Amino acid sequence: MDLIFEPLTQLGCMTYLIGSASEKQAWIVDPSLKEAERYVELLKQRGLKLTGVIDTHAHADHLSGGPKLMDLTGCHYIMHSSAKPKDVSDRVEDGSELSLGEVKLKFIHTPGHTSDSLCILVDDKLITGDTLFLDDGGAGRTDLPGGDPAEHFESLMKLSKMPDNLIVFPGHEYRGRRPSTLGEQKQRNPFFRPKTKDAYVQFLQELNLGPAEWMKLVLKANVDCTRDPNSVEIPQGVSACEVMGTLSDCASRQDIHYIDAQEMKTKMDSGWKPFLLDVRETPELYAELGHLPGIKHISVKEIAHRLDEIEAHKNDEIVSICKMGGRAKTAAQLMSEAGFNKVIVLSGGMTAWNQAGLPVVRDTVKA
């Protein structure tokens, strides 16, 4: 077997080594700038020449090692034809192939997370970049500059037509999951669930929170092809490229509890008085779904900075509410991490509450 295939990282931003044993050459996919020297040393130890560095897309969460490795080794720097990083030397299209010995890479253009996103097929392995993560990691966010949820849906459809036995190697893995097959991901990954473009776009609108400012700075530094690993301050251990990663990573490891709309109503009718926290945007409170009486309203975008307002309820039961459950879960995760230990998410949000025919307050205009 000629193929060398090896993840060079185990957690966080994933970097892959792909090479040909017979040719003694290799590519590195998605290298990090701060690890550039380590890769050079590793290749030297393995007796491999670096043929090229491939970035699956212009990254917004870490600095690419592509430009620096090009300087250090004279290798090619390969990205999609639409990629903006200024020093890219070789540009590929959907369907382009590269080979080393018997090892063949095939590129699949999968825009959505970014317009230049690529997946790479090598043997039975599919490097998905930020187009697809594993399980509830979902997929890359689509709210960065150049991102597009509708395009991302098309890209997932493209992947869904590929063989089930391919093994998915994602661009990020924040929780130590092992690669699984594309067939398993089609079943387990929630981002494969919406079956129409409209449903997918709506699903993402529920979850998108807007990227942190630092991500835009990282993206710019990668477009400028910085060689300075300290040119942007990047928070560590943040699952920033996930759709749900805006606020926190550690929070996503918390167990979240849910309550069904009907069950919640029944319990409240029997005297249960949880603290009701609605995390939607203000106009949504006055739109057709209405809101529950007595809510405290803090938008999920602001909750990280306004926890002091609900500090008195830290040990109370809190029900986190949004339109469908996505943002309420994010808020619940964030609160759990901050020590609010009895936060429950209204499953299906105000949509489920209304579908169950339960009473709501419908103010038409906010005073």
Helix or strand holding residue 338 (H, E): none
Select from 82-90, 128-136, 247-255, 318-326 the region that touches Fe ion (CB under 5 A): 128-136
Residues 153-172 that bind Fe ion (CB under 5 A): none
> In this chain, which stretch among 148-156, 235-243, 252-260, 310-318 interacts with Fe ion, using CB under 5 A?
235-243
Distance CA 280, CA 55 (A): 36
**Cβ within 8 Å of residue 288, ≥6 positions away:** 362
Q: Any contact of residue 318 with Fe ion (CB under 5 A)?
A: no
Among the listed residues 35, 116, 130, 206, the single contact to Fe ion using CB under 5 A: 130
Binding-site residue total for Fe ion (CB under 5 A)? 2
Residue whose CB is less far from Fe ion, 103 or 204: 204
**Are 254 and 336 within 8 A, CB to CB?**
yes
Q: How far is the CB of 75 from Fe ion (least distance, A)?
A: 22
Only one residue has tokens 């250090």, namely 72
Are 63 and 31 in contact, with CB atoms under 8 Å apart? no
- Which span (191-199, 237-245, 252-260, 344-352) binds Fe ion, by CB under 5 A? 237-245
Cα(166)–Cα(79) distance, rounded to whole angstroms? Answer: 22
Distance CA 309, CA 291 (A): 20
The site string for Fe ion over 259-288 (x = CB under 5 A, - otherwise) reads: ------------------------------
Under a CB-based contact definition with an 8 Å cutoff, are residues 80 and 92 in contact?
yes
**Minimum distance from residue 140 beta carbon to Fe ion (Å):** 5
Does 241 interact with Fe ion (rule: CB under 5 A)?
Answer: yes
Smallest gap, in angstroms, from Cβ of residue 142 to Fe ion? Answer: 11
Question: Interface mask (CB under 5 A) for Fe ion, residues 88-127, using x and -?
Answer: ----------------------------------------
| In the complex, minimum distance from the CB of residue 225 to Fe ion, in angstroms, rounded to a whole number | 17
For the chain, strand residue ranges (E) read 3-7, 12-13, 16-20, 25-29, 49-54, 76-80, 90-92, 97-100, 103-109, 118-122, 125-129, 167-170, 172-173, 180-181, 257-259, 275-278, 296-297, 318-321, 343-346
CA distance 300 to 233: 24
Residue 204 lies near Fe ion (rule: CB under 5 A):
no
151 binds Fe ion (CB under 5 A): no
Q: Does residue number 30 form part of the binding site for Fe ion (CB under 5 A)?
A: no
- The DSSP secondary-structure symbol of 39 reads H
Rounded to a whole number of angstroms, the minimum distance from the CB of residue 240 to Fe ion is: 8
Toward Fe ion, which CB reaches closer, 241 or 319? 241
Closer to Fe ion by CB, 116 or 278: give it.
116
User: Where on the chain is the footprint of Fe ion (CB under 5 A)?
Assistant: 130, 241
